[in-house]
Amino acid sequence: MTPTEPRIAAVIYRGDDDVDSLLADFAAERVRAGDRLGGLVQRNVKDATGRRIDMQVIDLMTGAAIGISQTLGGGAGSCKLDAAGLADSAQAVTRAIAGEVALVVINKFSKQEATGQGLRAEFAETIMAGLPLLTAVPEKCAEAWRAFVGDASTELPCNRAALDAWWRDAAAAGAHSDAATG
CATH number for the domain spanning 126: value is 3.40.50.300
What range defines the domain where residue 116 resides? 8-181
73 within some domain: yes
Q: Which of 167, 182, 180, 157 is nearest to 7 (CA)?
A: 167
Give the range among 33-42, 82-91, 153-162 with minimum mean pLDDT: 82-91
More confident residue, 80 or 4: 80
Judge whether 161 lies within some domain. Answer: yes
**For residue 141, is pLDDT > 50?**
yes
Q: Examine residue 3 and state whether it is found in any structural domain, yes or no.
A: no
Position 113 scores a pLDDT of 96
**In the 8-state DSSP scheme, what is residue 139?**
G
Look at residue 1 and tell me if it is in a domain. Answer: no
For the cut 50, the answer to whether the pLDDT of residue 102 exceeds it is yes
Which of 59, 110, 127, 115 is closest to 88 using CA atoms?
59
Inside any domain, residue 104: yes
Number of domains in the chain: 1
Q: Is 60 inside a domain boundary?
A: yes
Q: In whole angstroms, what is the distance from residue 61 CA to residue 26 CA? A: 15
The answer to the question of residue 2 being in a domain is no
Residue 30 lies in a domain: yes
